[in-house]
Structures are given as structure tokens and as C-alpha cells.
Amino acid sequence: MITETIKKRRSVRKFSNKKISDKLVKDCILNATLAPNSSNLQLWEFFHITDSNVLHNLRKACLSQNAAKTAKQMVVIVTRKDLWRSRSKSNIKFLFKEFKNGSISKKSHEKAKTYYNRIVPLLYSEFFGLLSLIRFFLAQLVGLFRPIYRQVTFIDKRIIAHKSAALAAQNFMLSMSYFGYDTCPMEGSDTLRVKKILKLSSESEINMIIACGIESHDGVYSKRFRVPFENVYNYI
């Protein structure tokens, strides 16, 4: 049951010496790619690290925190908002195939094509930050008279890419939990060094570094704590 898997997942800071299967971790990364994501642009990449030298360097870049020191493998989720053009093209190609085989109507196909050919470039194109500024002021102006999409700046797009990647991270961690494996997402890291170690492009941004393994007997530091549900639940 989904609730069981959600309750079972904890952030594990100490992993046992037991090995974990590359294939199962890869399967969980495949599940990560099924996460909902903005405009289905899939502006992400996944790095599955099993190499002992790279793991050694990553441990240091993760500030030698316990989860990193004992991790058997690591998964690094990276955002790639620079890939919006090629991902748009992939969507267009896929939708054309779907239209040709009769899975989607001409109208839906035309609408989707307009979305990826016109709307996405309108939102994602950049020219030294100038287009972001123009979009921002236009949205403010039009927004005075009618509802308008306001997440139009360079920074908004970074946030959007990170939101989608975080959903992928959760898919990954829940899948790992389902298969009896444990994880710890780690914000505490030197992301510049991580990028260097993984030889990432300058446009790549580290979304989440996830330590993976099987919990040691003292791997979970305390009982789970959440503020009272009534404090965060608003029924309208």
C-alpha cells in the first residue's frame, strides 16, 4: 500500500555494509523519470554513482556528513533548463507519431504543437535577462485586468525546473523504500565541487544528492517528528 511505503521511508544517516543492486537502483531512477513535470519538458538528468573514486570525492563534497560517508551508492539529480528546445522537439515528435497512429485528434495535435512551438519559446527564450524583464512587466500589466500566468522570469524557470526534479527525487526515494532500500537526501554539500566531480555543464544545477544503501541498526536518528497536522491542514 502506498501509505505503508511513505511511512517506511526515513532519512537514513548511517548505512550498513550490505551492497545494493545497481539494477534495482536504476529501476528506481526509471520510476523517478515518471514524475509529473512542468510542460513535460523533463528538464532533468540523473547521475547514478557506483564508482568508488567518484563516491570518495562526492563524500568530501557532501561535507563528509554521515549519510554520505556510509552511502553505498549515490544518485544526483540535476536540472537542465537549458534543454528546453530539444525537449520541446522531442515532445513535438512524439505527439506527431501519436497523431499519425490515431491516438490523438488533429485538434489536440495542433494545440500541443502551438504550445511547444510558440508558448514554450515565449516563456523560455532569454536574451541577457532582457526578455525575462519584458515578460515580467507585461504580466504585471495584463494581470491588472485579467488572470495571467506570472512565473515568467529566469528565476521562476529555475524554480519550476527544481520543483519537477524534486518530484522525481521523491518518486526515486519512495521506490527505493518499496524495494527495501534506504536513502537520505542531502542539501548539505558544496554544489560547485559536485558539479566539477561529475563534469557537469555550467547550466546544470544540482537539485538533490541522494545517499543510498541499507539502513544500519542505528541509521535513523530519532522517531519521526511532524508539527501537528491541524497546523498545516486548511480545509476550504
Ligand X SMILES: Cc1cc2nc3c(=O)[nH]c(=O)nc-3n(C[C@H](O)[C@H](O)[C@H](O)COP(=O)(O)O)c2cc1C
Binding residues for ligand X, rule: CB under 6 A, are 10-11, 13, 65, 67, 184-188, 224
CB of 35 to ligand X, least distance (A): 15
Cβ-based nearer residue to ligand X, 149 or 221: 221
CB of 193 to ligand X, least distance (A): 15
CB of 186 to ligand X, least distance (A): 4
Cβ-based nearer residue to ligand X, 7 or 118: 7
- CA proximity to 196, closest of 76, 73, 35, 82: 76
CB of 144 to ligand X, least distance (A): 36
Neighbour count for residue 13 (Cβ, 10 Å): 21
State the Cα–Cα distance between residues 208 and 161, nearest whole angstrom. Answer: 12
Burial 23-58 (b: 16+ CB within 10 A, else e): eebeebbebbeebebbbbbbbbbbbebeeeeebebb
CB of 118 to ligand X, least distance (A): 34
Cβ-based nearer residue to ligand X, 186 or 197: 186
Cβ-based nearer residue to ligand X, 26 or 69: 69
225: its cell numbers = 517528528
Cβ-based nearer residue to ligand X, 36 or 188: 188
- Helix (H) / strand (E) element for 112: namely helix 106-114
SS3 call for 226: coil
Cβ-based nearer residue to ligand X, 67 or 123: 67
Strands 182-186 and 73-79: unpaired
186 DSSP β-pair partners: 209
The runs of H, that is alpha helices, within 126-203 are: 130-142, 154-178, 191-197
CB of 60 to ligand X, least distance (A): 14
